[in-house]
A = this chain, B = another copy of it.
C-alpha cells in the first residue's frame, strides 16, 4: 500500500478524495492513460469530471511526482515517479512493464560524440510480451 495523503502533502497539493483515488489507482495499476483513469474513478465518483482528471494529472506532472510516458502508436500513460527505469510495451496487447536498465553506457557514448549535456533518457522497447508470442 501507499499513503497517498502524505505523498500529496509533500508535494503541496491539497488532499482531496479525487486526488487520493488517482494516486491509489496509479499505484495499483502502474500505468494508465487519461481515459482509463477517468473510467476507473467514475466507479467511485459517479459525477467526477474529465476536467478534474486533466487538471490533477497536469498538476501532479508539474510537481514532478507523476511522469508522462509517451508510447509509440498509443496514448500517453502516467505513472508515479520513481527511480529511473525504462519500459517494455507489448504492441499486441498494450501491456506496459517497467524494467531496469543501465543507461550509463549510452550516456558515455553520447559524450564521446557530442557536446550535448544529458539531463534525462527515455527508453521504450516495443515488441511482444510472453503471452502474445504464442
Residues of A near any B CB (own CB < 8 A): 68, 70-72, 86, 88, 90-91, 97, 99-103, 105-107, 109-110, 113-130, 133
Q: How far is the CA of A128 from the CA of B117 in the complex (A)?
A: 5
The reply to whether B117 and A109 form a contact with Cβ atoms under 8 Å apart is: no
The reply to whether A106 and B91 form a contact with Cβ atoms under 8 Å apart is: no
The reply to whether B101 and A116 form a contact with Cβ atoms under 8 Å apart is: no
Q: How far is the CA of A126 from the CA of B133 in the complex (A)?
A: 33
Residues of B within 8 A of A122 (CB): 72, 122-126
The reply to whether B118 and A121 form a contact with Cβ atoms under 8 Å apart is: no
State the oligomeric state as a number of copies.
Answer: 2
Q: How far is the CA of A119 from the CA of B88 in the complex (A)?
A: 11
The reply to whether B119 and A91 form a contact with Cβ atoms under 8 Å apart is: yes
Closest to A123 in B: B123
Interchain Cβ contacts under 8 Å between A and B, 25 examples: A68-B72, A70-B70, A97-B114, A99-B110, A99-B113, A100-B113, A101-B106, A102-B109, A106-B123, A106-B125, A110-B125, A114-B130, A116-B127, A116-B128, A116-B129, A117-B127, A117-B128, A117-B133, A118-B126, A119-B128, A120-B125, A121-B123, A121-B124, A121-B126, A122-B122
